[in-house]
Each structure stands twice: as structure tokens, then as C-alpha cells.
Amino acid sequence: MNEGPVRSDAEAMIAEAKKALWVMVGLLAVLWVIQLVNAPTGYGLSREFGIEARDPGSLPEILSSPFLHYGWTHLEGNSGPLFIFGFLAAYRGVKKWVGVSLLIIVASGLGVWFISPANSVTVGASGLVFGYFGYIIVRGLFDRHLIDIVLGLVMALCFAYQFTSLLPSQEGVSWQGHLVGFAGGIVGGWLFRDRRPKAVAAPDPATALLPKDVS
């Protein structure tokens, strides 16, 4: 049995997991540094760079709103799930994770922009959190990796309470971003699935022996 390719694949996965770990540490560091600047200003950055529902001029804020929060409790509540789900979304490949993250940010941001109440300004990484949640639940099904199927099932069971946040439940909480971010993660699981080359059927030996038509 040739153990070389198996060992090489395992080493590559470990290397990607290490990169994923540091990427998520870096992302959380950025969020907390921004919060250190944002809080003393009375969250002026959140009001200026958050998503204002159905305001065309606020569309660019789709890209900035996930990095801003309203209060330390808001940031603390997002940090743990963001780290866990983000790492699990990235450990098979940071490049793929970047694409999935952009898709989720745009999807959840547009959902907030279209569906949120008029004159509301929404910020926070929770849309990204729920997007990663949806992604890791379905990734194994699309990639056909047994370990990811089991991982997705375990995460769905352990964090089943998160599904309640996909529907209106608490005033001031952006269920719109949660729901559309979750859907974006599921779409990301399909769009960024592993595409294996189709197996080519071996020729039938009996057919190969038949004389060819040369007319």
C-alpha cells in the first residue's frame, strides 16, 4: 500500500488548518481593534458605515458593516461563534474560504438592505457567522467528504438553538442578515464544492476485439 499520497494529503490539510487558525485570529484582532476605535466615538463608525435599508448610497457599506458592532456585548456575542465556524469553514483551504466569505457578506448585506425596516442602520458579523454555519452544515454533502458530513451534522445538532435566530424573535436583532447569510452559506457550499473529474469508463475488452467499420 502506497502511504505517500495519503500522508501528503494529511500534511496539506494540517498546513491549511494552521493557516485557517491564524487567519481567524487575525480577523478577530481586526474586529477588536476597530471596536477600540469605534466605542470612544459613541459608535460613530457604526452609524456612518452601517447598512441603511433601501438607501442606494448605503450599498457600499455592505462590505464594511460586518466589521462594526454596537457595543462590547454585541462584539463578544459574535466573536466565539465567528471563530469556531470561520475556522471550520477555512480549514480545508483559505483561498476557498475567502470566496465563500465574500459571497456570504454580499448576500447577507443585500438581505439586510432589502428587508430591514426603513431608516434602520445595521452592523455586525452575525450574518457572516450564520453564513459559515450554513456552509459547514452542507459542505460535506456537496464535497462528498465523510468527515465534513459528520462535522456538519455535529455542528447542526450542537448549535440547533441558532436556528431560532433565523426568524423574527427579538427586536433590534437583524434576523434578515442571519437568514440570508445562512442561505448564502448554503449556496457557497454548492458553488465552491470540490469538482472531481468524471471517471472515464474502461473499454469493454469484448467490444475492443470486434472488427472496426472502415467503410
Instruction: Encode pLDDT of 19-44 as tens digits.
Output: 999 999 999 999 999 999 999 999 99
Q: Which pLDDT score is estimated for 22?
A: 97
How many angstroms separate the CA atoms of 154 and 185, rounded?
17
User: 166, 130 in Cβ contact below 8 A?
Assistant: yes
Interval 61-81: pLDDT, tens: 999 999 999 999 999 999 999
Distances in Å between the Cα of 100 and the Cα atoms of 104, 116, 190 are 6, 23, 10
Residues 6+ apart with CB under 8 A from 77: none
This prediction's pTM: 0.86
List per-residue pLDDT tens for the chain, 215 residues long: 455 555 677 788 889 999 999 999 999 999 999 999 999 999 999 999 999 999 999 999 999 999 999 999 999 999 999 999 999 999 989 999 999 999 999 999 999 999 999 999 999 999 999 999 999 999 999 988 898 999 999 999 998 888 888 888 777 788 999 999 999 999 999 999 987 655 555 555 555 555 555 44
Number of other residues whose CB lies within 10 A of the CB of residue 201: 6
Q: What domains are there in the chain, each with its CATH number? A: 6-192 (1.20.1540.10)
Mean pLDDT in the chain? Answer: 88
Q: How far is CA 142 from the centre of its chain?
A: 15
